[in-house]
Chains A and B, each alone.
Chain A
Amino acid sequence: MNLKTTTRQVDGVNIVDCSGRITLGEGSVVLRDVVKDLLGKGQKKILLNLGDVNYIDSSGIGELVSAYTTVKNQGGELKLLNLTKKVHDLLQITKLYTVFDVKDDETSAVKAFR
């Protein structure tokens, strides 16, 4: 299943609920467009909820990195929420787990934004 997203706002933080696959092609483009759209609206606090992302490939990892650096370069913050074991393991072996701010509880994740 390709990536589907819905965005909601909690206390000024944009939570993007993602489900499906973040892979080369459509999945990566969907994620890129969502982040670009939020930044275009001046929304710079972004929490990517990856709880229903069941698959990610190297292009998807690259897209997460791109989203992270793009938001950061514009003075915003991007955090990850609810990683599945597969995504967690991939971020571990690529040494990106400590680069991203990863949360497992939505309430505390929202509070962690400045």
Chain B
Amino acid sequence: MTPERRSFTLDSTLENVDNAEQAANEIATQFGFNEEEVLQIAMAVREAAVNAVLHGNAYDPAKKVSLDFERTAGDLVITIRDQGKGLDPSKIPDPLAPENLLKTSGRGIFLIRSFMDDVQINPSASGTEIKLIKHVHGPAADGKEASQ
């Protein structure tokens, strides 16, 4: 039976960015998303995990990243929290603006927003929480497994 909720607490390492992506891949597949959706979800989680490890926790071994996958009636809700200074979403530059097009960074949040149906960024003094939401379509919406 597909679990409805999975939670992980991760050290702030690059290896755990790969682990978060892998977990997203497996869980999104278990929840019945199609191949393209799984790729999008896994990439969004990877980008959010990179932000948490690098920009949030700055590789601080004392700070953790929490990763939570929850299947609700109509959505897959993924929550990623870091223990950094807090990301102000209003200060994220538009990577599609002509003056930013050739910048070598700053596309992570844009890609997350492109791949998910809804993204909520909640900064606080104790860190940043980002909620990634993907609507469940097709057979997965009825709570059934993907084709075996």
Give chain A's interface residues, CB within 8 Å of chain B. Answer: 23-25, 57-59, 61-63, 65-66, 68-69, 86, 90, 93-96, 99
Cβ of A99 to closest chain B Cβ, rounded Å: 6
Give the residue among A58, A62, A90, A93 with the most B Cβ atoms within 10 A: A58
The 8 Å CB contact of A62, one of B14, B46, B54, B107, is B107
Kindly state the separation between the CA atoms of A62 and B111 in the bound complex, as whole angstroms: 13
CA distance A20 to B19 in the complex (A): 17
Residues of the A chain whose Cβ atoms lie less than 8 Å from the Cβ of B108: 58
Q: A65-B104, A90-B111 are in contact. List 8 more A-B contacts (CB 8 A).
A: A57-B47, A58-B107, A59-B50, A63-B104, A66-B104, A95-B96, A96-B101, A99-B101
Q: Is the CB of A86 within 8 A of B46?
A: no
Interface string of B103-131 (1 = CB under 8 A from A): 11101101100100000000000000000
28 inter-chain pairs at a CB distance below 8 angstroms, sorted by A residue, are A24-B14, A24-B17, A24-B54, A57-B43, A57-B47, A57-B50, A57-B111, A58-B47, A58-B50, A58-B105, A58-B107, A58-B108, A58-B110, A58-B111, A59-B50, A59-B105, A61-B107, A62-B105, A62-B107, A65-B103, A66-B104, A86-B39, A93-B114, A94-B96, A94-B107, A94-B110, A94-B111, A95-B96
Closest A-B pairs by Cβ, 3 of them:
A62-B104, A58-B107, A58-B108
Chain A residue with minimal CB distance to B114? A93
List of A residues within 8 angstroms of B62 by Cβ? none
